[in-house]
Amino acid sequence: MASMVVQLMGMFLGIVGWCLESSCINSAVWRRASHGEAVMTSSSRYEGLWMSCASNSLGASQCQRFKTVLGLPGYIQACRALMIIALILGLLAVILAVMGLKCTKLGSTSEETKGKISLTAGIMFILSGVCVMVAVSWYAVRVVQEFYDPFYGGTKYELGAGLYLGWAAAALEIIGGAILCTSFKSSRPAQTRSLNYNYIASQPQKIYRSAPSENSVSKAYV
């Protein structure tokens, strides 16, 4: 029962992390234009992995997708690839986590096989979280470098809300995957003990009787 609760907790954290991950990749606020030197601002600009947007003081916003792929900086293309890989890994991990639950019946699948499926789901959750962590951290490092570079002539940006979503998603997926891996390890000793108990119980019982003593023999002759 305890291992099943641990499995459900790990799967829940992984699913929440995957949902935040999908929100992060679709977010258009990975970086926001800095207005530190401006006294009054009537518009703001922000960008994501797929589009660039601008909004005015009235609340109206207009977004435009990047027209080229090869013309984008290399780190943006790498972050796109990492986020897509993370989404695929996370989706497969969710499916495997549901299949590996102890309360799920899959034909004649044994508990050991379900444990291995759950372990695989945990590893895939961890890999998905690592991909997200690398993507958002790499993007954040480039934003910070451009912001503090005195020779950078373009628009300076600050960290956006999409990056914080990515960090939260990566943390939840890594924790959920680690919990799933721990649940598999904690369920193995109990299974081994039950097997040993069944083996001992299946052995035929032997009854030993003590040999007759000399006193008892002499009494029988008298």
Per-residue pLDDT for 8 more than 90? no
Q: What CA–CA distances, in Å, run from 170 to 78, 162, 174?
A: 17, 12, 6
Provide the angle, in degrees to the nearest 10, between the axes of the packed helices 2-26 and 111-148.
30
Angle at 17 between CA 44 and CA 181, to 5 degrees: 155
Which of 10, 194, 195, 193 shows the shortest CA–CA distance to 101?
A: 10
pLDDT average, residue stretch 138-145: 93
This prediction has a pTM of 0.76
Q: Are 49 and 21 in contact (CB under 8 A)?
A: no
* pLDDT tens by residue, 144-156: 998 888 887 777 8
Helix runs in 39-159, H state only:
74-99, 111-148
Per-residue pLDDT for 85 more than 70? yes
> Rounded CA gap, 1 and 151, in Å?
61
Q: Domain 2-27+73-188 belongs to what topology? A: Butyryl-CoA Dehydrogenase, subunit A; domain 3 (1.20.140)
Q: Worst-scoring range by mean pLDDT, 38-42, 119-123, 141-145?
A: 38-42
Sorting pLDDT into bands at 50, 70 and 90, what band is 13? Answer: very high
* pLDDT tens by residue, 185-195: 655 544 444 44
Q: Give the pLDDT score at 222.
A: 43
Q: Where are the beta strands (DSSP E) in 111-212?
A: 157-159
**Which tokens belong to 93?**
């991990």
What is the spatial order of strands in the sheet that 43-47 belongs to?
A: 61-65, 51-56, 43-47, 31-33, 157-159
CB atoms within 10 A of CB 50: 15
